[in-house]
Amino acid sequence: LEAREPPEARGLARDEVRLMVSHREDDRVVNATFRDLPEFLDAGDLLVVNDSATVPAALTAVREDASEIALHLSTQLASDLWVVEPRQASVRQGERASLPGGGAALFLTPYRDSLRLWVARLELPDSVYPYLHTWGRPIKYPYVKGEWPIETYQTVYARRPGSAEMPSAGRAFSARVIHSLAARGVLMAAITLHAGVASLEDHEAPYEEWFEVTEETTETIRATRSKGNRVIAVGTTVVRALESASDEAGRVRPAQGLTDLVITPERGVRSADALLTGFHEPRASHLAMLEAFADRHHLEVAYAAALDRGYLWHEFGDLLLII
């Protein structure tokens, strides 16, 4: 059930992937396509999207013994400090690896005692994003067949470069769907959260990611709530950003910086009323966030229906709207 290639390679437009709509009040599920999204929203509802653009964050690094490893950049901590993932390789503290074009990575310390993630200092001949667009490639995992250009990993509203992996819940949006939403009176606002690598181990909590919620977006959310309309988060990255910027009453305020917030069912979600998300393996952190929106029984019903109908998973797959 893994989506091994973009829908365009399967003869579909971006907005022709399937959409399951699950109703929490009665566990009812409705099967549709993403183009039908406006039909499930009301005039005055607000979709909050993540406008972070995906960067080609995978590099080939050469170690001192001339062996090559894949190095995935994840989160920028400072101008030259990054959380990185040497894929399927053990590195040593103080080890230095060569990067293309005269660059280098110095592995400083494990990140938060991780066995997999490191804090590294990057020494690059150019600023990081132009460098990556010259030498990097999109991060991909073994279930994806073939190589796809970075444009394949962008949402149509991506604006601010910084995500190591695509905020994939928004990939199906097209100009046509956005126009249909506007015609129905559905509003859109943006936050930014630069998504890091998603290949967490089961025991790993989500790590720091940079986010920004602007005053304009907070005012739009406040106005939406004051009129009794819904705030729909497009993806778990949006939930993390909004919750990081909200107080205990759910009031969202302007904020930016690194967030290490972990959202659990016990904590709950205060800033959004519904969630659009992809289908993914139920890792502990991802499942915990979904259970903050809907109880486990509801999610089991939705996922069972998705499995029965062959919904596709991962960044090129189908979508679930929990309302």
pLDDT value at 312 more than 70? yes
Instruction: Give dist(CA 5, CA 7) in Å, integer.
Output: 6
pLDDT value at 204 more than 90? no
The phi, psi pair for 241, rounded to 5°, reads -65, -50
* pLDDT value of residue 88: 83
pLDDT value at 281 more than 90? no
Can you list the positions of beta strands (E) in 88-198?
A: 96-99, 103-110, 118-123, 160-163, 187-193
The model's pLDDT over 80-103, given as tens digits with 9 standing for 90+, comes to 999 999 998 899 999 999 999 999
Instruction: Give dist(CA 5, CA 153) in Å, integer.
Output: 11
pLDDT value at 143 more than 80? yes
pLDDT value at 280 more than 90? no
27 Cβ neighbours under 8 A, 6+ residues apart: 297, 298, 301
Q: What's the average model confidence in pLDDT over 202-225?
A: 91
| Domain boundaries for CATH 2.40.10 within the chain | 58-135
Domain 7-54+147-322 belongs in CATH node 3.10.20.30: no
* pLDDT value of residue 287: 78
Please give the helix or strand (H or E) that residue 62 lies within, else none: strand 58-62
* pLDDT value of residue 206: 77
Instruction: Give dist(CA 196, CA 11) in Å, integer.
Output: 30
pLDDT value at 321 more than 70? yes
* pLDDT value of residue 113: 82
Q: What's the average model confidence in pLDDT over 57-78?
A: 97
Lookup: tokens for 243: 């919750």
pLDDT value at 286 more than 90? no
**Cα–Cα distances in angstroms (integers) from residue 190 to residues 32, 123, 231, 275, in the given order:** 25, 32, 12, 15
Beta strands 231-234 and 274-278, pairing class: parallel
Beta strands 46-50 and 187-193, pairing class: parallel
Percent of the chain with pLDDT over 90: 89
Q: What is the pTM of this model?
A: 0.95
Beta strands 209-213 and 187-193, pairing class: antiparallel
| Domain boundaries for CATH 3.40.1780.10 within the chain | 7-54+147-322
pLDDT value at 187 more than 80? yes
What DSSP character marks residue 127? -
Q: What's the average model confidence in pLDDT over 145-152?
A: 96
* pLDDT value of residue 181: 99
Lookup: tokens for 80: 């030259």
Lookup: tokens for 21: 């709509």
Class of domain 58-135: mainly beta
The model's pLDDT over 31-54, given as tens digits with 9 standing for 90+, comes to 999 999 999 999 999 999 999 999
Fill in the amino acid letter for 106. Answer: L
